[in-house]
Amino acid sequence: MTIPPETIPPVRIPPVRTPPAAVTSEGQVTLAGELAAAVARLAAAGVASPRGDAEQLAAHVLDVSRGRLALVEVISTSAAQELRHLVERRADRVPLQHLTGLAGFRRLDIAVGPGVFIPRPETEWVVEEAIRLLRVSGAVRPICVDLCAGSGAIALSLADEVRGAEVHAVELEPAALDWLRRNVGRTGLPVRVHQADVGVVGAGPPPASAASTRSAAEPVGGVLRAPGVLGVLGVLGELAGRVDLVVSNPPYLPDHERSRVEPEVGRHDPPAALWGGPDGLDGPRAVVTAAAGLLRPGGLLVMEHADEHGQAVPALLASGGPWSGSWSDIVDHPDLAGRDRFVTARWDPPGRGRPGSAGEDA
């Protein structure tokens, strides 16, 4: 049977989307073409945000803000080669922040690289609540201690946003300590840096030091430098019972997550900043113990934890351990995604008064 031509429905051929040309007719390299190739490469490598990462790498190479990329039409051959090199490294799952050298955190750009944990956006909400609680407390010159400080993102944010705060940052690992000191220096914010062991199980042996028996930190160029690796209460002994706020993002991932984390985390974040033992609570336990020795009565603890610890960490604070009955106002808080993310509590040991903050005027 022959179908009349007028009854045959027309075949609709979808338009062919031609990717932007990487090179103009004049031989110039176009940014649009380089970005299209970068996005495709990163997507194929399984990077979660290929477009965003490609644009941030381009902005880094061209030394412009990401928002101004739309104004750039052509780039130099050398810039294109540098961008392609960085894209290949990102495709190999090197963290974006290691390639740009910076991680944005609240109002600051924090320098990061191999050997230090990259601060995450969810930790910004930990800082937000810590600042809110300090303001509610009415402390004029609050004493704040950031335990397991890493790059110093939390401590530096407190120094940046809480007027008059006396901020101490405690870190054990030498590589992370270098980044912490670098960030204090480059921001110029008044944070005192201490090398001390918070007591997280599995953090690794301290480096040998002929001066390891000394118990006091020494000021070096305005920054406190612990000559040996002592326990945190040995280094901060003068602050015991006087601190208004202890804040921490300790290692809290349980061991069963080791094979599940993204390559950017498992290969590049330092293990001492990640793993909290079989149940992930080695880090939180150590921080709670240290906080009990540092805080004044009525002082505050704000601590990040794994999203599976929304019940375990508050239960730890309310437990019948060495601090039995000493924590009050225990509240767990979600992050913006609704996942349990951090706990707040007040140090309220039985039989002790609640004197005014050490940071308050007499």
Model pLDDT, residue 26: 56
Three-state SS annotation for the chain: CCCCHHHCCCCCCCCCCCCCCCECCCCCEEHHHHHHHHHHHHHHCCCCCHHHHHHHHHHHHHCCCHHHHHHCCEECHHHHHHHHHHHHHHHCCCCHHHHHCEEEECCEEEECCCCCCCCCHHHHHHHHHHHHHHHHHCCCCCEEEEECCCCCHHHHHHHHHCCCCEEEEEECCHHHHHHHHHHHHHHCCCEEEEEEECCCCCCCCCCCCCCCCCCCCEEECCEEECCCCEEHHHHCHHHCCCEEEEEECCCCECHHHCCCCCHHHHCCCCHHHCECCCCCCHHHHHHHHHHHHHEEEEEEEEEECCHHHCCHHHHHHCCCCCCCCCEEEEEEEECCCCCEEEEEEEECCCCCCCCCCCCCCC
* 47 in Cβ contact with 93 (< 8 Å): yes
For residue 333, the model assigns a pLDDT of 97
d(CA 337, CA 113): 27
Helix 31-44 to helix 50-62 angle, to the nearest 10 degrees?
A: 140
The 10 Å CB-count burial string (b at 16+, else e) for 185-194 is: eebebebbbb
Strands 230-231 and 191-197: parallel
Q: Which CATH architecture has domain 105-206+213-347?
A: 3-Layer(aba) Sandwich (3.40)
Distance CA 340, CA 115 (A): 27
| pLDDT tens track, the chain, 362 positions | 444 444 444 444 344 344 555 655 555 899 999 999 999 999 999 999 999 999 999 999 999 999 999 999 999 999 999 999 999 999 999 999 999 999 999 999 999 999 999 999 999 999 999 999 999 998 899 999 999 999 999 999 999 999 999 999 999 999 999 999 999 999 999 999 999 999 997 543 333 333 333 333 333 222 333 345 789 999 999 999 999 999 999 999 999 999 999 999 999 999 999 999 999 999 999 999 999 999 999 999 999 999 999 999 999 999 867 788 899 999 999 998 999 999 999 999 987 654 444 454 43
Which tokens hold the place of 92? Answer: 């190999």
Instruction: Tell me how far apart the alpha carbons of residues 335 and 341 are, in angstroms, rounded to a whole number.
Output: 6
Among 147, 126, 144, CA closest to 250: 147
- Supply the pLDDT for residue 359: 52
Give me the residue spans of the domains in the chain: 29-92, 105-206+213-347
Question: What pLDDT is recorded for position 323?
Answer: 81
C-alpha distances in Å from residue 309, one per residue of 113, 271, 313, 339, 343:
28, 19, 6, 10, 10
